[in-house]
Amino acid sequence: MSGISEMLTFLALPFIASVVFVLIHAYLGVHVLRRKIVFADLALAQLSALGASVAFANGYDVTSPAGFAYAFVFTAIGAALLTLTRNLARSVSQEAVVGILYVVATAATILVVDRSPLGAEHVKKILVGNIVTVDVAVIAKFAALYAVIGLLHWWVRRPLLSLSSERGPEGRSRLEVWSWDFVFYLSFGIVVTSSVATAGVLLVFSLLIVPAVIGFTFSDKLSFVLLIAWSAGIAASAAGLACSYAFDLPTGATMVTALAGFLVLASLSKVFIVVDAERRRARLQRAAQTAVVAAFVCILVSSMWLIINPSGDQPLLALLERATGLGSATFLSSSEGDTYESAARDIVRFQDEVDRLDAMEKSARYQGPPLADDEIRRIASYQQTFNEMTRGEQFVRNVLQTKARTRERWIIGLPAAIIAIAGLGLSTRWFSRRRRGEGDDHSTYDSAEV
């Protein structure tokens, strides 16, 4: 299969869309982080969803001008509320107000949708969103809209940025503060409302926050922050889209994970790479020490868990078994082992039978002589039987596995626990002696820096 070209034709549009999204969202994210209102996008998006549902309940199509007007008016109301609550922020965090706004808007949407059930589809769409299915017209529309908003923000960058800064509204009249805040929230609301419907709440939230956080990790200068945020956002989107295609994963969730991965990489490189050699060595050493201790703790905990409850889930042991190929069968007598393996084969065989019957029934739906109801019933009862037999074999496997684990408990669990305890004791002693011997200068100036 022409894998790469297929992938490119499929992912080109979503990638362009995510670039467009990253450019505006990472920039707005800078404001949002500085204003400490990271959930405002959710509140505004939910308010516009409420507007759309109200429009729907009143008999307008969600995509009609009236539907859009409703959504816009509700977003504007949200923007006004956020503007007016800036002063409240002295006694209560504004984030609390944002949270309340979000929850109330969501609840109201549920109530409105309950009155006009067919509107539920629209609300569902806002929550899910799928960037894969975006088309050229939509991207062009977004690009134009974001360009207008971007230009507006460039034009009035001075008041907008200073109002988002730590210093706040000093030296400005209340009216002036209110109008700039309103401009900010309204444009912000319009952006997230449009993007959420295409990309979904999760992805929009991540695009807003994560690149900006990455930017602030490395710099405080706005132009650098933006440059870093944009590159990181675009790179993470590309990585997320490619992974989603390659590993057959839902796109939005994969992109969110990719963004988070870039954040982790950025923090790691901040700690280990963007420092002088001396400090890097000390930090790497300390990281290695922590990893060794953590590994011993993991081994200790899971060996204790194996000893206490051998029939429970043993995630680390299962991982080890899969990695070494030494399954539970190793700890069974040869006849038990045979039963264990043959049960596995039978499960596959029975499920193949179920699938074969399924395929037979499915093809008889539209070709050849149709199956009579009684034949369908017979197939169903065969499948039922095979499924029950599968469950039986599964049960046999579980019993034998528990048996094996009960033996492993002393053969593996006890030695592992002893090794882990010894390892923990030795390594912590060795590390602390080393640290004392190697000089205190690193640790003091490290902890002061971190």
Taking CB under 8 A as the criterion, the residue among 21, 184, 245, 296 binding another protein is 245
Query: Based on CB atoms, which residue is closest to another protein, 112 or 160?
Result: 112
CB of 256 to another protein, least distance (A): 12
Q: Which two structure tokens, joined as six digits, stand for 125?
A: 């769409």
Which of the ranges 79-87, 96-104, 122-130, 139-147 carries the binding residues for another protein, by CB under 8 A? 122-130
Residue with tokens 């800078």: 30
Long-range Cβ contact pairs of 294-300 (< 8 A, separation 24 or more): 296/420, 296/423, 296/424, 296/427, 297/420, 297/424, 299/416, 299/417, 299/419, 299/420, 299/423, 300/416, 300/417, 300/420, 300/421, 300/424
| Residue type, position 345, single letter | R
Backbone Cα Rg of the chain: 30
| x/- letters, 346..375, toward another protein (CB under 8 A) | --------x---x--xx--xxx--x--xx-
Of 176-235, which residues contact another protein (CB under 8 A)? Answer: 200
How many residues are recorded in the chain?
A: 450
Query: Based on CB atoms, which residue is closest to another protein, 51 or 129?
Result: 129
Residue 14 as a binder of another protein (CB under 8 A): the answer is yes
**Cα(44)–Cα(97) distance, rounded to whole angstroms?**
12
Structural contact between residues 448 and 281, judged by C-beta atoms closer than 8 angstroms: no
Taking CB under 8 A as the criterion, the residue among 384, 398, 402, 444 binding another protein is 384
Which of the ranges 186-194, 215-223, 252-260, 267-275 carries the binding residues for another protein, by CB under 8 A? 252-260
Taking CB under 8 A as the criterion, the residue among 117, 171, 325, 369 binding another protein is 117
Q: CA dist 193 to 84, 150, 206, 319, Å? A: 21, 16, 15, 44
**Cα(69)–Cα(76) distance, rounded to whole angstroms?**
10
Query: Based on CB atoms, which residue is closest to another protein, 90 or 365?
Result: 365
Could you tell me how many residues of this chain bind another protein (CB under 8 A)? Answer: 52
Which of the ranges 129-137, 296-304, 408-416, 435-443 carries the binding residues for another protein, by CB under 8 A? 129-137
Which residues sit at the interface with another protein, rule CB under 8 A?
Answer: 6-7, 10-11, 14, 115, 117-118, 120-121, 124-125, 128-130, 132-133, 135, 200, 241, 244-254, 354, 358, 361-362, 365-367, 370, 373-374, 376-377, 379-380, 383-384, 386-388, 390-391
